[in-house]
């Protein structure tokens, strides 16, 4: 299987985090639509400061809330 990147949300700021929770990433519905993502889609989250990478899946957040957590 060959993986390709089909969309990118560049330099987004995480608005909230819970260190005790390991799982999904919630993204504002408007941003999900603009990026062409689907609920439950596997995504790669990369830290711009440390380069750390996390594979997770998308949960759609409230429209126009600006949430990324």
Active-site residues, by number, are 24, 57
Widest CA span in the chain: 36
As beta bridge partners, residue 57 has 42
From 45, 61, 62, 65, select the one nearest 53 (Cα to Cα). 45
């Amino acid at each position: 299987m060959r993986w390709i990147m089909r969309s990118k949300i560049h330099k987004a700021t995480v608005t909230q985090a819970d260190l005790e929770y390991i799982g999904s990433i919630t993204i504002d519905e408007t941003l999900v639509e603009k990026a062409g993502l689907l609920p439950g889609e596997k995504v790669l989250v990369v830290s711009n400061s440390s380069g750390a990478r996390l594979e997770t899946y998308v949960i759609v957040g409230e429209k126009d809330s600006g949430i990324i957590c």
